[in-house]
């Protein structure tokens, strides 16, 4: 019996080539030149993820057989006793994705082949059209249509809409203020306007970002139904899961949910109850490719499709992992895409490319992506307190971002 290839070292790479702070894990093996990369990005708490990897998971995994990725995932999840939290899950994901990358390289196959092979040649992506007015949003939508995109998320004034001149109480603290009721009215007007200008052959999406009270969310989902969205994203917060059944009873607006999920009990009842239509989890937030593959299989039994989280705070390595899942999963729906600038492709050679509204793989073994550590080091992460997550209602009350 040949000697197993083992984990020799684990490196944690942080970089901020754009606004988001990214965490990449590089797992080095006992085989010279053989390594894998994975995404562990939790941009708002990146220091905590780095500490979890360096101080806890790294000593735990060194010396383990790289082929036993399932066992490593299971034991890493329970070895700290407390589990299913965003810091630990992202840390585990970095190692889990890197081990899948290594498996693919050893097999001489892309990861999608290890998952079961392609169900499609490329993955439909959606992009984000924003603007201060309905007309501006529409112009951005038309620009994306000219580039070949057919799935477009429409927002106006960012999450929660434009704050405007909200009547705040004296001494109100600073924050990202928004008016939920005004948001509902303004977004409905915007979506109606965009539909009237581009027609119904364009697939439109919208993200509520969990900012509504449950009863207002039910009403909004009903009100937006005539505009035939491809899906309405994060209409409720994870704390309000019981309300999804009310939305189902009231309308047929397709619902996507999950980017804040990190505990299996958050997605399991929504899938088994057929209460949503698309899974939106952040793959590193749930622990990596191993649990994502399992959840995609589970969702396929109930006719629920995937739409993995793919903003700028998913690293290019994470986008590559998303793409392998997209190409394999028979129940794939659509993939979020953030449109990286050119210098990101230089830092991460092999970053997926999008042409004509489709994301294509590069057919290299493993995840098909790497990280240039010297270039990444030119963009060190900055320490700052996030402003957009400090959301407030008109009277200054803290609200969910």
Active site residues: 159, 209
Directed axis angle between helix 214-223 and helix 180-198, to 10°? 20
CB 56 within 8 A of CB 115: no
Burial of 203 by CB count in 10 Å (0-12 exposed, 13-18 middle, 19+ buried)?
A: middle
Alpha helices in 199-288 (DSSP H): 214-223, 244-250, 264-272
How is residue 400 annotated by DSSP? Answer: -
> What's phi and psi for 215, nearest 5 deg?
-65, -35
Which pair of tokens denotes residue 6? 């083992």
> What's phi and psi for 79, nearest 5 deg?
-65, -20
CB 105 within 8 A of CB 36: yes
Alpha helices in 79-208 (DSSP H): 86-107, 111-115, 134-146, 180-198
Burial of 34 by CB count in 10 Å (0-12 exposed, 13-18 middle, 19+ buried)?
A: middle
């Amino acid at each position: 019996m040949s000697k197993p290839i083992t984990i020799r070292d684990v490196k944690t790479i942080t970089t901020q080539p754009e606004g988001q702070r990214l965490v990449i894990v590089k797992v080095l093996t006992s085989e010279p030149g053989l390594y894998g990369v994975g995404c562990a990005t939790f941009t708002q708490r990146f220091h905590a993820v780095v500490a979890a990897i360096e101080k806890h998971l790294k000593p735990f995994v060194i010396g383990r057989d790289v082929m036993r990725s399932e066992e490593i995932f299971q034991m890493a999840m329970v070895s700290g006793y407390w589990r299913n939290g965003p810091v630990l899950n992202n840390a585990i994901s970095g190692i889990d994705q890197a081990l899948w990358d290594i498996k693919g390289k050893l097999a001489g196959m892309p990861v999608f082949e290890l998952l079961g092979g392609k169900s499609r040649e490329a993955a439909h992506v959606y992009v984000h059209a924003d603007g201060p007015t309905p007309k501006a949003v529409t112009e951005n939508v038309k620009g994306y249509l000219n580039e070949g995109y057919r799935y477009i998320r429409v927002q106006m004034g960012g999450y929660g809409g434009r704050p405007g001149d909200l009547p705040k109480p004296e001494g109100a603290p600073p924050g990202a203020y928004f008016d939920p009721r005004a948001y509902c009215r303004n977004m409905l007007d915007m979506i109606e306007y965009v539909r009237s200008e581009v027609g119904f052959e364009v697939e439109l999406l919208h993200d509520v970002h969990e900012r509504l009270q449950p009863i207002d969310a039910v009403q909004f989902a009903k009100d937006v139904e005539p505009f035939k969205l491809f899906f309405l994203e994060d209409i409720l917060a994870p704390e309000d899961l019981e309300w999804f059944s009310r939305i189902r009873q009231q309308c047929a607006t397709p619902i996507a949910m999950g980017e804040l999920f990190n505990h299996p009990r958050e997605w399991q009842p929504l899938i088994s109850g057929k209460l949503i239509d698309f899974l939106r989890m952040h793959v590193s937030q749930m622990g990596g490719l191993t649990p994502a593959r399992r959840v995609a299989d589970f969702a396929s039994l109930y006719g629920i499709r995937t739409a993995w989280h793919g903003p700028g705070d998913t690293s290019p390595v994470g986008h590559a992992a998303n793409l392998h899942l997209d190409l394999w999963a028979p129940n794939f729906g659509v993939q979020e895409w953030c449109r990286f600038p050119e210098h990101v492709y230089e830092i991460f050679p092999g970053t997926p490319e999008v042409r004509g509204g489709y994301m294509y793989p590069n057919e290299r073994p493993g995840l098909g992506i790497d990280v240039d550590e010297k270039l990444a080091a030119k963009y060190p992460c900055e320490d700052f307190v996030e402003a957009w997550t400090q959301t407030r209602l008109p009277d200054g009350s803290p609200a969910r971002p």
